C-alpha cells in the first residue's frame, strides 16, 4: 500500500449524516435542500427535443451561446443591467463547480478569504484546496445581521476575496441595499474580489427585492456572481449553473473551468435557452415558495419550535430552546430517531460551534409531506 498525504480533512458532511439517519429510521427528510416535486413538464420536453436533435457533443467551453444570450436577456429584465454574453457569462456544471473554479482562479497559497458564517459547507474546502486561509466572520442569531465595520477590520493586505451569499443559506436572510453599499465601500480601491453566491435569487419574500451585485456597477467591476438552474427550476440533479463577471475576471475563471470540466451538458443547455424565453418560468417563483414557507409555519402551529423570520431561500430556521437543552446536532439526531423528521443543525455551518438552539427545515416539499411533518413535530 502506497503512502500519501491527504489534501483535505476526512469528514462527512452534515447533509450525508442526517440523510443517512433519515433513511435508517424511515423519517421524513426536511434536511437536504432539494424539492420532492419534479420540474416543469415543458422543460423536460425541451430536454428530450434537443437530445433527439443531436445536441450530444461538447458545447463550447464557455457554454452554448444561445443560453448565454438568454441569460443576458434575463439579467437585463430582472436587474436592468446589460452584460456581454460572449465575455461575461460562463455556463458551469452546477453552482458548486463555479464556486470551486472561481476560488481556485484567484486564491493563491497564503491568501486570506473572508467567509460569513454560518456558511455553505463547500466554501472552506475549496479555499483550503487552493492553499488559501479561511477568515470567518460569525453572525449572531436570531437576527443574523452583518456588522460591516467588523468585516472591514478583518481585511488586510493578505485578503484576496470576500464570499457573500444572498439570499443566505442556512439563515434565510437577505442582503439589503445598505449592506451592498457597505460592501462596495470596503472593497473599493482594493484588490479584493467579491464572490457573490446568488443561487436563490428568485426566492425572495414579502415584497422584498434581491439586491444582486449586478445592480451595483462599481461593485460588479471586482465581483463574480454565481447562479443555479437546479435551484431555480427544481432540477438539482442536473448540476447546471453559471457565473457572471467582468471580462478581465471571467478570462481567468474560464482558464480554470476548461481544465476542470471543459464544458457543461450540451442538450440541457439548449433546452434551458429555449425555456428562458418565457420569463414566467422564473418570475413567479417567489410567490410559489412564499406559500410553501407560510404553509410550513402554519402546520407547525402549536409546536414549541419557534420560527425565525425567513426572507429568502427555501429554508426555515426554528428555535428549539423551549423543547430541549441538547446541542443542535444531538437534538437533530434525536428528532429523527424519536419523532421521524430529519432537519439540519446550524452549528456545522460555523468554524467554531455556537451554542444556538436552531435547526433548519427545507420547505421545498409538497403539502402532503409538510402536513405529515407538522403532525409529528407538534408532538415535540
- Work out the burial of residue 178: count CB atoms within 10 Å of its CB; fewer than 13 is exposed, 13-18 middle, 19 or more buried: exposed
Please name each of the domains of the chain with its CATH number. Answer: 14-39+283-377 (3.90.1150.10), 41-281 (3.40.640.10)
CB of 4 within 8 A of CB of 333? Answer: no
Q: What pLDDT, on a 0 to 100 scale, did the predictor assign at position 170?
A: 96
Rounded CA gap, 337 and 357, in Å? 18
How many angstroms separate the Cα of 196 from the Cα of each of 25, 94, 107, 220? 37, 15, 15, 10
How many angstroms separate the Cα of 313 from the Cα of each of 46, 169, 188, 292? 27, 7, 29, 11
Q: What pLDDT, on a 0 to 100 scale, did the predictor assign at position 371?
A: 96
Q: Per DSSP, what are the bridge partners of residue 226?
A: 197, 243
Rounded CA gap, 85 and 172, in Å? 30
Rounded CA gap, 265 and 239, in Å? 9
Q: What pLDDT, on a 0 to 100 scale, did the predictor assign at position 372?
A: 96
Q: What pLDDT, on a 0 to 100 scale, did the predictor assign at position 8?
A: 82
Residue in the block written with cell 444570450? 69
Rounded CA gap, 91 and 34, in Å? 21
Sign of the CA dihedral with 106 first, then 107, 109, and 112 last? positive
Q: What pLDDT, on a 0 to 100 scale, did the predictor assign at position 120?
A: 93
Q: Torsion angle of alpha carbons 221, 72, 205, 164, nearest 10°?
A: -30
Peptide bond into 170 cis (omega under 30): yes
Q: What pLDDT, on a 0 to 100 scale, did the predictor assign at position 10?
A: 76
CB of 228 within 8 A of CB of 198? Answer: no
Q: What pLDDT, on a 0 to 100 scale, did the predictor assign at position 355?
A: 85
Q: What pLDDT, on a 0 to 100 scale, did the predictor assign at position 5?
A: 87
Q: Write out the three cell numbers for 119.
A: 456558511
Phi, psi of 7 (to 5 degrees): -90, -10
Tens of pLDDT along the chain (380 residues)? Answer: 988 888 887 778 899 999 999 999 999 999 988 899 999 999 999 999 999 999 999 999 999 999 999 999 999 999 999 999 999 999 999 999 999 999 999 999 999 999 999 999 999 999 999 999 999 999 999 999 999 999 999 999 999 999 999 999 999 999 999 999 999 999 999 999 999 999 999 999 999 999 999 999 999 999 999 999 999 999 999 999 999 999 999 999 999 999 999 999 999 999 999 999 999 999 999 999 999 999 999 999 889 999 999 999 999 999 999 999 999 999 999 999 999 999 999 999 999 878 889 999 999 999 999 999 999 999 88
Q: What pLDDT, on a 0 to 100 scale, did the predictor assign at position 9?
A: 78
Q: Per DSSP, what are the bridge partners of residue 192?
A: none
Helices 266-275, 41-52: axis angle to 10 degrees equals 130
pTM attached to this predicted model: 0.96
Amino acid at each position: 500500500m502506497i503512502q500519501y498525504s491527504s489534501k483535505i480533512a476526512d469528514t462527512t458532511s452534515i447533509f450525508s449524516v442526517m440523510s443517512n439517519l433519515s433513511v435508517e429510521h424511515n423519517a421524513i427528510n426536511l434536511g437536504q435542500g432539494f424539492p420532492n416535486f419534479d420540474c416543469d413538464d415543458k422543460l423536460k420536453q425541451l430536454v428530450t427535443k434537443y437530445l433527439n436533435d443531436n445536441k450530444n457533443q461538447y458545447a463550447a467551453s464557455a457554454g452554448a451561446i444561445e443560453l448565454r444570450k438568454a441569460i443576458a436577456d434575463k439579467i437585463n429584465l430582472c436587474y436592468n443591467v446589460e452584460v456581454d454574453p460572449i465575455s461575461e457569462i460562463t455556463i458551469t456544471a452546477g453552482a458548486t463547480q463555479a464556486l470551486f473554479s472561481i476560488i481556485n482562479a484567484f486564491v493563491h497559497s497564503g491568501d486570506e478569504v473572508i467567509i460569513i458564517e454560518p456558511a455553505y459547507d463547500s466554501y472552506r474546502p475549496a479555499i483550503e484546496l487552493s492553499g488559501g486561509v479561511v477568515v470567518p466572520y460569525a453572525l449572531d442569531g436570531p437576527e443574523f445581521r452583518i456588522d460591516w465595520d467588523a468585516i472591514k477590520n478583518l481585511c488586510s493586505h493578505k485578503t484576496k476575496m470576500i464570499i457573500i451569499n444572498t439570499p443566505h443559506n442556512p439563515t434565510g436572510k437577505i442582503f439589503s441595499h445598505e449592506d451592498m453599499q457597505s460592501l462596495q465601500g470596503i472593497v473599493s480601491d482594493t484588490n479584493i474580489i467579491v464572490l457573490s453566491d446568488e443561487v436563490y435569487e428568485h426566492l425572495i419574500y414579502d415584497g422584498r427585492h434581491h439586491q444582486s451585485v449586478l445592480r451595483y456597477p462599481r461593485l460588479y467591476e471586482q465581483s463574480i456572481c454565481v447562479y443555479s438552474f437546479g435551484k431555480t427550476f427544481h432540477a438539482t440533479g442536473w448540476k447546471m449553473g453559471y457565473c457572471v463577471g467582468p471580462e478581465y475576471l471571467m478570462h481567468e475563471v474560464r482558464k480554470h473551468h476548461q481544465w476542470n470540466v471543459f464544458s457543461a451538458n450540451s442538450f440541457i443547455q439548449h433546452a434551458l435557452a429555449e425555456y428562458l424565453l418565457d420569463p414566467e418560468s422564473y418570475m413567479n417563483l417567489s410567490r410559489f415558495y412564499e406559500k410553501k414557507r407560510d404553509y410550513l409555519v402554519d402546520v407547525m402551529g402549536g409546536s414549541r419550535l419557534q420560527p425565525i423570520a425567513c426572507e429568502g431561500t427555501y429554508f426555515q430556521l426554528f428555535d428549539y430552546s423551549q423543547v430541549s437543552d441538547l446541542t443542535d446536532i444531538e437534538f437533530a439526531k434525536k428528532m429523527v430517531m424519536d419523532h421521524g423528521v430529519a432537519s439540519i443543525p446550524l452549528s456545522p455551518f460555523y468554524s467554531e460551534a455556537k451554542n444556538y438552539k436552531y435547526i433548519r427545515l427545507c420547505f421545498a416539499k409538497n403539502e402532503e409531506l409538510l402536513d405529515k411533518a407538522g403532525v409529528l413535530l407538534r408532538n415535540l
